[in-house]
Amino acid sequence: MSAGGLSEVKPATPEIQEMVDQTKGEIEKKENKTYSIFKAIEYRTQLVSGTNYFIKVDGGKEYLHVRIYKPLPQSGEKPSLTSYQTGKTASDPLIYF
């Protein structure tokens, strides 16, 4: 994969689920709702100065697309929520947003 391009879609891993779990509260606060399920299904990555993760999340009644930025390890910074989209379906493709 070249810098800036999106990887192929991959099944979510425990590391991806952990990043999603860390953003759940922030998204719930912004959306003013509680998600009974918040399960990472699949993801794509984009190499920048760090990595953007585009993650499809099963939110129970709807799917979400969540974008998390993970800085380079030497920065010492934690992954952070960049943006997200609600109202998605299981079949919506993960694309750059």
CATH assignment of the domain containing 30: 3.10.450.10
52, 22, 81, 43: CA torsion to nearest 10: 40
94 occurs within a structural domain: no
Please indicate whether residue 66 or residue 3 has the higher confidence score (pLDDT): 66
Q: Percent of the chain scored above 70 by pLDDT?
A: 96
4 occurs within a structural domain: no
45 occurs within a structural domain: yes
Count: domains in the chain: 1
5 occurs within a structural domain: no
Q: How far apart are CA 5 and CA 95, in angstroms?
A: 11
Q: Which pTM does this prediction carry? A: 0.91
77 occurs within a structural domain: yes
For residue 38, the enclosing domain spans 10-88
Give me the pLDDT at residue 96, please: 72
In the predicted model, what is the mean pLDDT of residues 27-43?
Answer: 96
